[in-house]
Structure 1
């Protein structure tokens, strides 16, 4: 059995003609390059989402519209900011009003204090004038002072009732006003004066109880003073 036919390994026949020059690579591959380019274009078209191989200018992407939740959040934020601004304005207005009220209250207090101080100064001045007038009235005129001295001298010698002493000073030519002023200035217990008068009358003559009371009343003592004086004698 014979084996498979093998290709002949005999050398190519020698040709005397000169060998042809080798072809350039692009000449050899003139059918491969267009095929590869076509393949690349097809792959690029599929990747680009379609068979459109044109290269249009990309349109600018539109901004996405806000959602309802985002719009509500913006509205709530704006409302909160407006409320905060309004509250701040109200607080400032209230603070300014309070400051104005305090300023007015302080001004009124100062005015009231000033008026009160002036009134107090005026009252003090009036009181001083009145005190000076009273002191002058208490001191009395020269004539009144002389009447007072005479009244004190009479009381050091004899007992007198109030009206009896005034009459005695008038008898000394003092005016009724000066005599009355002088008698009112003396410090005297008219009950004790009535008792002394009753004792003097009993030292001179005898009296009944009622007769002595009547005599003391005649001398200018009051009924009560006369009774007190007679009682002191034991009558």
Structure 2
């Protein structure tokens, strides 16, 4: 899908202020929770236009009247919410058989996101140079790194993610989360993280043990507000010099 674009230093997949922000994405919501599971474009500061009356919009944490000034965005963002995290998400490329994977070889993934005080997660599909696939998922509810490896799905490296604490008083309620994908590939081979799924000790899918080749998809789950998703060349060797755990934590 974007193989030719991997020579560019930056590829933007989602910008909430563009004319068609979800043009490259599919949107999935929970049909059993029509009033609580939805994706809606609105102004971050005013939460307008409001979603349909049948929908119950989660309000962001109230800000101090003085310290909160200027910490919200006066522009359109994507509000993504649901009490059932896994059933509500956006995905690029869309989940259709006629759509190829991303094919993006850029090493650094970035998301501009607002914490709504609910559980949140995102994941990216990765492929090594031998064509073996895996999934890297980062979640605010995950307490420690783990590797799930079975026969029914690609290996999943599940990592903890943390937003800045409210007491740190960041300059904005928004955060840029960045991960350097090549530096995480080695952890698919870590026996300390592995949790073998019961009944799948044999015939499991091969682990992506080789060097990072490209990303196959990006999926962002509820609940959050989202402004931008992009891939870049990033800091290159500078990113690799940091402890790998620190690359999972969002910037203040």
TM-score by length of 2: 0.17
Compare the two structures and name the one with the higher strand fraction: 2
Compare the two structures and name the one with the higher helix fraction: 1
In our comparison, the structure showing a higher alpha carbon Rg is 1
